[in-house]
């Protein structure tokens, strides 16, 4: 299978949106050290890139893409068939579709087929130990399969009748054709289970203290304005597909656990917000919004647009924005208000402003006063 070197859209990259972001999903997924990270985003070295497409699967914001590897096109073919099979190119196996690495098939794609009841068979995982992509490909495949299980449990646990049968058909790992030819017993899928570990750091217990220490600004100070770069909102096809996967009948919940393989997250805000609005400005999908009128201000969250890129968690200097460990993943939930405040009126310039604590003057006037004091004492 031929595959062009993947390209990156900087405006969707978390490292571009927030200069001090610690996101390195794509670099962690790349088994060939072809991706370089910097505070402008990421770059790929065509000389090292082996076109495994693992960076595309790992990126939740859809920053990485390839013109001739589009899983949505494969889905369009798969839904027309009663069964569907996929093989990785290095294994030499035959299947309905050939992909560069099984780890490049994200959990949402597999979950969508599972919910539709289309049997998906994956060929080639037995070759991971000898494959040039296997260094990270096997772990990413395992993580994505685990994420499909999380989705399946969510559909089952949220059903009106927990005892009812959920018509999901989970993906299966096929045995090697060489094993078949030698008449040996079929290798059970369970033997792949020990590799089911998280390839990436989880949101909870991620070592956030190290991230804080890496920031040049002092704790609780707002993120520097130049550290946050604006860009257009963009919701990925993967996130839109997940909205279909998490739909439930009769308004039943879809409870899931936070998982690195899923572009899903529910936010919570503890006391201590400084109303700096950095989380709103850094969000690449528009999941965090500001609702404002002449008298009131509200920080809102839309779960249907969130891809769990974590940029908002990183940019929050008071560290009061957090992710729920378990939550309802349905996309048709109402907009969540994280914080709401009444606007105050400046006694000096008479303009309305927002502050977490009562203030007599607005930030602009306070800055003028500070500047005047610094110059004239």
Q: Each residue of 347-360: pLDDT tens digit?
A: 889 888 888 888 88
Read off the DSSP letter of residue 345.
E
CA distance 278 to 295: 21
Would residue 325 be called left, alpha or beta, if left means φ above 0 and alpha means ψ between -120 and 50 degrees?
Answer: alpha
CA distance 243 to 169: 18
Of residues 231 and 222, more confidence is placed in 231
Burial class (CB in 10 A: 0-12, 13-18, 19+), 307: buried
Q: For 311, what's the count of Cα atoms within 13 Å in the CB-facing half-sphere?
A: 33
The answer, yes or no, to whether residue 261 has pLDDT greater than 50, is yes
Question: Whose structure tokens read 């220490």?
Answer: 213
Of residues 204 and 335, more confidence is placed in 335
- Section 155-161 average pLDDT: 83
pLDDT digits (tens, 9 = 90+) for 18-67: 999 999 999 999 999 999 998 888 999 999 999 999 999 999 999 999 98
- Section 2-7 average pLDDT: 74
- Section 227-249 average pLDDT: 93
Q: What is the pLDDT of residue 368?
A: 65
Residue 371's pLDDT band, with cuts at 50, 70 and 90, is low
- Section 75-104 average pLDDT: 95
Q: What is the pLDDT of residue 164?
A: 66
The SS3 call for residue 339 is strand
Q: What is the pLDDT of residue 350?
A: 85
Alpha carbon of residue 87 to chain centroid: 25
Of residues 167 and 322, more confidence is placed in 322
Q: Note whether 52 and 128 are within 8 A (CB).
A: no
- Which of 114-128, 157-171, 322-336 has the least mean pLDDT? 157-171
Domains and CATH numbers, the chain: 7-195 (no CATH), 208-342 (3.30.70), 346-377 (no CATH)
The answer, yes or no, to whether residue 96 has pLDDT greater than 80, is yes
Residue 372's pLDDT band, with cuts at 50, 70 and 90, is low
Task: Please give the mean pLDDT across all residues of the chain.
Answer: 85
pLDDT digits (tens, 9 = 90+) for 176-224: 766 555 444 443 333 343 333 343 333 333 333 333 334 444 455 677 7
């Amino acid at each position: 299978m031929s595959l062009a070197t993947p390209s990156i859209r900087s405006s969707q990259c978390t490292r571009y949106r927030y200069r001090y972001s610690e996101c390195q999903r794509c670099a962690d997924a790349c088994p060939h050290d072809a991706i370089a990270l910097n505070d402008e985003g990421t770059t790929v070295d065509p000389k090292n890139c082996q076109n495994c497409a693992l960076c595309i699967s790992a990126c939740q914001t859809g920053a990485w893409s390839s013109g001739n590897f589009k899983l949505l096109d494969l889905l369009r073919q798969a839904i027309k068939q009663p069964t569907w099979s996929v093989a990785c190119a290095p294994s030499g196996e035959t299947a309905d579709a050939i992909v560069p690495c099984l780890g490049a098939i994200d959990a949402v794609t597999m979950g969508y087929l599972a919910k539709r009841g289309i049997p998906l068979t994956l060929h080639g995982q037995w070759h991971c130990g000898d494959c040039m992509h296997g260094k990270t490909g096997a772990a990413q495949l395992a993580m994505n399969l685990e994420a499909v299980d999380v989705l399946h449990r969510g559909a089952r646990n949220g059903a009106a009748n927990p005892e009812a049968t959920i018509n999901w058909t989970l993906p299966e790992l096929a045995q090697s054709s060489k094993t078949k030819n030698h008449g040996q017993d079929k290798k059970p899928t369970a033997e792949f289970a020990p590799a089911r570990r998280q390839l990436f750091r989880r949101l909870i217990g991620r070592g956030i203290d190290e991230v804080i220490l890496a920031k040049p600004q002092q704790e609780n100070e707002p993120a520097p304005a130049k550290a946050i770069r604006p860009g257009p909102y963009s919701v990925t096809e993967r996130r839109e597909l997940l909205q279909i996967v998490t739909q439930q009948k009769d308004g039943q919940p879809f409870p899931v656990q936070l998982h690195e393989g899923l572009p899903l997250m529910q936010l919570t805000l503890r006391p201590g917000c400084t109303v700096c609005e950095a989380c709103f400005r850094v969000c690449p999908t528009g999941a965090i919004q500001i609702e404002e009128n002449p008298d009131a201000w509200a920080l809102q969250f839309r779960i249907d647009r969130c891809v769990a890129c974590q940029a908002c968690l990183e940019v929050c200097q008071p560290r009061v924005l957090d992710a729920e460990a378990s939550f309802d993943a349905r996309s048709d939930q109402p907009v969540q208000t994280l914080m709401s405040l009444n606007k105050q009126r400046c006694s000096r310039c008479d303009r309305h402003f927002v502050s977490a604590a009562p203030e007599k003057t607005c930030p602009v006037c306070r800055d003028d006063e500070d500047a005047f004091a610094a110059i004239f004492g």
